Structure 1
Amino acid sequence: MKKKATVYIMSTIGLLPLVMVLGNSMLLPILPLMEDELNITHIEVGMLLSIFSLIAAIVIPIVGFLSDRFGRKKLVLLSLFFVMVGNLVTIIGGHGFKEPYTWILIGRIIQGIGAGGTAPLAMALIGDLFEGEQRSKSLGIIEVFNGIGKVVSPFIGAIAALFSWYSVFYFYFFASLMAFVGIYFSIKSINQEKVNEPLLHYLKMLMSVIRKEARTLFPLSLIGAVGLFLLFGMLVFLSFEIERIYALNGLFKGFVFMVPLGVLTYVSYWTGKNIASNSLYMKKLLLLGITLLTGSLLSLIFFHQFHELIFSLTIAASGVGFILPCVNTIITSTVGGKERGFIVSIYGMVRFLGVAFGPIFFSLWMQEVVSMFVKASLLMIITGIWVVISFKLTRVIKTRKVQLTIRKKFN
């Protein structure tokens, strides 16, 4: 594929994770405003984030199966259509209707149905379109778009708050429309191996793949989910903390979110660009990401000042930035074309369950800050140990020590 065509296609596919990320991240700075305007509790406002992600997580494997059978492009376009309809329902609910919270909740559910076919199918599309080093670079670019969405979303939310909190959904509608038009015109043909077998035979084939690759798929899917669970949970905590405790709001609040999310974007891009197909290097960066994320959570048990919170959250975001591109590449390359859509969608479902439950759990936990970070640290330690054992990541450390010993002998 020519470089110019590759850039064009990647720019278009990159809009898909952007659409998914906008669905939640743009609401982060305006959560306290929504709570006041709708006269709801912070648990209910957290539900507006979580219901979107939870519905998307449920829909993802269904969309993955249908994309294997009927084609990725058709399912992506249908998904974007649902996102647009969900935005219209949410906007209607925000314009002074009775029971606006109910309308908005329904709109968020419809948006979630559509979001389930965006980012996960973007990874499957890349698996179909590219191979080898180009695939790992493209998956890294996907995480960059993911990160860009997280970086710009707080500014969108903060600017929207100057007019009305529901103004964010006007932007979300037009972003979805732009993605729809881009996918429709840019992706002409996909070298996709479609599934024609009966459903029962297909499910047996999938179970065979899952059993064969369980040692890879389960721990990697979990570490991706836990990383996003912790990141989104801490971002929700940060949103309430900087407004209620430090009385910071407006555009400055957007700048605060930009620091950790900007680092996440850069680290994701750098990781995707440099890992290529080097499995040993992926393991090293995966171990580094686990270490950074765990260390940042442990530090937050003891340090709670504003600058300490931002610094630790930034380190945590960099850890997630190392983890996700490595996990994406390993999982996407593990399975073949026939099963790729469904397997990648299962991984996407598990990831999104992390995004869904992060705001809920942290909303419940944030009453006791020290206890919250103790629980978060334990979750990360347990998950990290499973990944380290499953992938024998301790050998990466030993290999490094051997290399250093050899260098010392010859220098």
Structure 2
Amino acid sequence: MKEKYIVITLGLLPFIMVLGNSMLIPILPTIQQALQLTNFEIGLVLSSFSVSAAVLIPLVGVLSDQYGRKGLIITSMILFIGGSMAAIISGFLPNERSSFYLLLMGRIVQGVGAAGTTPLAMALAGDLFQQEKRSKVLGILEVYNGIGKVIAPIIGATAALFAWYSAFYVYPLVAALILYGILRYVGKSETARNTVSIRDYIHKLKVVLQREKAWLSPLFFTGGLGLFLLFGTLYYLSFLIEETYHIDGFFKGTAFAFPLGAMTIASYWTGREIKNNRQFMTKLLLIGLLLVSISFALLIFKHDLSSLMFLTTIAFGGLGFVLPCANMMSTSVVKDEERGFVVSLYGTVRFIGVALGPIVFGEWMVEVTQMFVYCFLLILFASIWLFTKMDMMKVIKMGMSKL
């Protein structure tokens, strides 16, 4: 029974991480109108969370090794709750600029707390479970992540029917459940520690990057680009649905379930099936990049709402093939003892993609056709870099031999 509650608690960590941005995407136009923000400023509301998390994620692993996973998760949730309360209070201030600055500060603090969610959930699962059970628990974490992606926009859009800041009440509730589960069911002695210093950590990370940059650079770029396109497109879709088609509330939230649901299903299936099959990973990566490229190429010429919904669903279904393969390849080209460094840095790159998406698309969407041209050119560049500038099969084979 104790294990069951531990798994639920660990699953809520990636769940709240996903809520951090995905729940706000459908209500960004509402926040913008309420606080009289520019496109750049409303992009910052979404991206400030990701930037602060991205900066700290590489340090989370080594800090948790030194001070314990449990204590760091507790600290992270307290920060998350504090940032959420600041965001809630911002909705009651009489001055719009003051509300914006307090909201931005709250989002930054939320992001600092979010840095200790998914990475620590995976690390703690490794501490508490062994062999097949560990693999099963890690799979469950992905399920929570996927569920969060699909239902977060629905929760956010529905909550915003009461007030633009209503969605922020959800965060402290979930964080409180995590705190209760960690304090009640995870013992202090059950979390690993070692004495790796931050200086040694940074030095080892530099060594790995210098040695493997030829292989990791295109893989990191592709992973970051995928999330840049995902969150940028969802940002644009949010404004299009509300301002052009006047769809709001629950039904607006469900619109996001189609592309995010396709990505979640494809990611889950890919993660289960690829295992260590090198040829299969390469094939899925090619198929996924083709789907993304073709979809964005077609959006250049036809981007009404029905076309956008259909083609983004296809594109992000393809992204569901790409990201798990890129994840596996990135971690397979390094030695076992170096994998943690690479995973942390890769997480940072992915978060940078999430952070830049809304800001850049906020500027691009003034000219929609040109925006999709840029998207197509970026994904084309990533595809060429992967398949002509490096021998993918050789990279994977080299990596697998080190396992």
Which TM bucket (shorter chain)?
A: 0.7 to 0.9
Map 1:71-220 → 2, pairs under 5 A: 71-98=68-95, 99-126=98-125, 139=138, 141-188=140-187, 192=192, 194-220=193-219
The one-letter amino acid of 1:266's match is I
The one-letter amino acid of 1:62's match is L
The question of whether the paired residues in 1 share the 8 Å contact of 2:69 and 2:120 is answered with: yes
The question of whether the paired residues in 1 share the 8 Å contact of 2:60 and 2:119 is answered with: no
The question of whether the paired residues in 1 share the 8 Å contact of 2:274 and 2:280 is answered with: yes
Report the CA distance shift for 1:333/1:103 in structure 2 as closer, same or farther (over 3 A): same
1:409 — aligned with what? none
The structural deviation recorded for 1:235 is 0.2
Identity in percent: 49
Q: For structure 1, list consecutive stretches of 5 or more residues without a partner in the other structure.
A: 397-411
- Match for 1:64 among 61, 64, 72? 61
2:277 and 2:68 mapped to 1: Cα distance?
30
1:121 and 1:335 mapped to 2: Cα distance?
21
Q: For structure 2, list consecutive stretches of 5 or more residues without a partner in the other structure.
A: 396-403
The structural deviation recorded for 1:363 is 0.5
- Match for 2:45 among 43, 48, 55? 48
The structural deviation recorded for 1:139 is 5.0
Map 1:244-259 → 2, pairs under 5 A: 244-259=243-258
Say if 2:266 is the partner of 1:267.
yes
| TM-score (structure 2 length as normaliser) | 0.88
The structural deviation recorded for 1:380 is 1.1
1:356 and 1:304 mapped to 2: Cα distance?
24
The one-letter amino acid of 1:164's match is A
The structural deviation recorded for 1:316 is 1.5
1:119-163, Cα deviation, whole Å (9 max, x unpaired): 233344456667888777655544432222121111111211221
Report the CA distance shift for 1:355/1:174 in structure 2 as closer, same or farther (over 3 A): same
- Range 276-285 or range 291-300, more displaced: 276-285
The one-letter amino acid of 1:13's match is L
Say if 2:237 is the partner of 1:238.
yes
Say if 2:11 is the partner of 1:14.
yes
1:318 and 1:391 mapped to 2: Cα distance?
25
1:93 and 1:42 mapped to 2: Cα distance?
19
2:225 and 2:39 mapped to 1: Cα distance?
22
How well do the aligned residues superpose, as a CA RMSD in angstroms? Answer: 2.7
Say if 2:34 is the partner of 1:37.
yes
1:166-214, Cα deviation, whole Å (9 max, x unpaired): 111111111122223234444446675x442454444333333333333
1:401 — aligned with what? none
Secondary structure at the residue paired with 1:165? coil
2:377 — aligned with what? 378
1:403 — aligned with what? none
1:400 — aligned with what? none
Report the CA distance shift for 1:322/1:201 in structure 2 as closer, same or farther (over 3 A): same
- Range 259-268 or range 362-371, more displaced: 259-268
Secondary structure at the residue paired with 1:214? helix
The one-letter amino acid of 1:81's match is I
The total of aligned residue pairs comes to 392
1:285-340, Cα deviation, whole Å (9 max, x unpaired): 22222221122111111111211100111012112211222233344455566544
Map 1:23-34 → 2, pairs under 5 A: 23-34=20-31
The question of whether the paired residues in 1 share the 8 Å contact of 2:70 and 2:191 is answered with: no
| TM-score (structure 1 length as normaliser) | 0.86
